[in-house]
Chain A
Amino acid sequence: MSIDKQLFDGKLIDLRPIDHEKDPQVESRWTHDLTLMRSLSHKIAMPQSVAQIKKKYEAIEKKVDESKNLFHFTIRDKQDNRYLGFIRIEGIEWTHGMGNLKLAVGDEAERNKGFGGDALQLVLRFAFNELNLYRLSAVVDEDNQPALRFFKRHGFMEEVRCRKALLRDGQTWDVVHLGILRDEWLALNAGGENE
């Protein structure tokens, strides 16, 4: 087991910092997909302009720097470095070793290619072996079955169902909370060493 390892390099993707020059254009385009926006927040789904995204990036980096309870990574294609999405651990409670996970692959055409899974594997290892968290949570809406299947496939267990917490398109949906404990992740991954 070597301590000298690249925690941010995956098989298909790498985790990298925000590119303030190039990423806002790309992400602004993603935000016009309101299905994506709905899956990321229960607030009113609204597209965001390039300038708004730039401001958001400033706020994210300020928070990463000052609050110490947020890690935000962009997901980039290993081949051409193109911006595919983002993954973050937010609301970390250091006292209890708890954090919340958020993941997005922006372009619908780029989904189901293994990018998200690759990024999740890296961030799970980062959360459990670098940050020493005890558990990670993810909140997924019932109308997003692919995401529910995705997290369960990667070892998350369904823990909470907030009944009918969402009203969308005239229909109610549950909000599902999933969780994975460090021990469960270790059992699945032999300590993250079975690369």
Chain B
Amino acid sequence: MNNMLHGELVHLTVEDPEVMAKKFTLWNQDAGWVRFLDSEPSRLLSEKKWQEWLEKDLEKSGSDQIFFTIKDIESEALIGFIGLFDLYKTQGDAMVAIALGERDFWGKGYGTDAMRVMLRYGFNELNLRRMGLIVFEYNPRAIRSYEKVGFSYEGRVRGAMQRDGKRWDYLFMGILRDEWLANGIMID
């Protein structure tokens, strides 16, 4: 394999904090997007603050977390990010999180493609045994995408979140290396 970080539609890169900070500042003004991504309420942080935050966050990269930006291959536009956190290297387990900040790229397979690339990186480069994720129950589009790449349902944290006066569950999903290999998705 000559380009492990390239998929069909996207490739994963690492960018300087100032490049990401510009995007993060914009994306975080999209409160609906933040609601799919985070249980924390949207905060309107300045570009300066995001840059500081990202600089600090990237220092941890490689040890217990890994952070990539997602770029559209065709236009080279920066459209989102994907990362591993709670990376327990000795256990071979990690949690994955993904978000596409650019709404024009939703529902067209870009996220699914990025996740496939991340799975290949996790299983073939980090030698993980499994990856897990949390998705909110009000995000069926994400759930379908995760199912498509081979994640299966592992349980739900009842009423973990309150939004718009309702309680919502967290869904846990996971994929084992063996399942990923059996699926035969992008092994080469």
Using a CB–CB distance below 8 Å, which chain A residues touch chain B? 42-44, 93, 95-98, 134-135, 137, 157-167, 172, 177, 179, 181
Contact A96 B157 (CB under 8 A): no
* Number of B positions contacting A (CB below 8 A): 24
CB proximity to A under 8 Å, residues B37-76: 39-41
User: What is the count of residue pairs linking A and B with beta-carbon distances less than 8 angstroms?
Assistant: 70
Other A-B contacts than A135-B160, A159-B157, A160-B156, 7 sampled, CB-CB below 8 A, are A42-B88, A96-B162, A98-B161, A134-B162, A163-B176, A165-B130, A177-B157
Residues of B within 8 A of A179 (CB): 157-158
Contact A172 B158 (CB under 8 A): no
Question: Whole-angstrom distance between the alpha carbons of A115 and B159 in the complex?
Answer: 30
Q: List the A residue with the shortest CB-CB distance to B86.
A: A42
Q: Which of B40, B91, B158 contacts A167 (CB 8 A)?
A: B91
Q: Which of B129, B155, B160 contacts A172 (CB 8 A)?
A: B129
Residues of B within 8 A of A137 (CB): 157
Residues of A within 8 A of B41 (CB): 95
Question: Whole-angstrom distance between the alpha carbons of A84 and B174 in the complex?
Answer: 37
| Residues A177 and B172 in contact in the complex (CB < 8 Å), given A93-B39, A135-B158, A160-B156 | yes
Q: List the A residue with the shortest CB-CB distance to B64.
A: A43
Contact B159 A163 (CB under 8 A): no
B132 within 8 A of A: yes
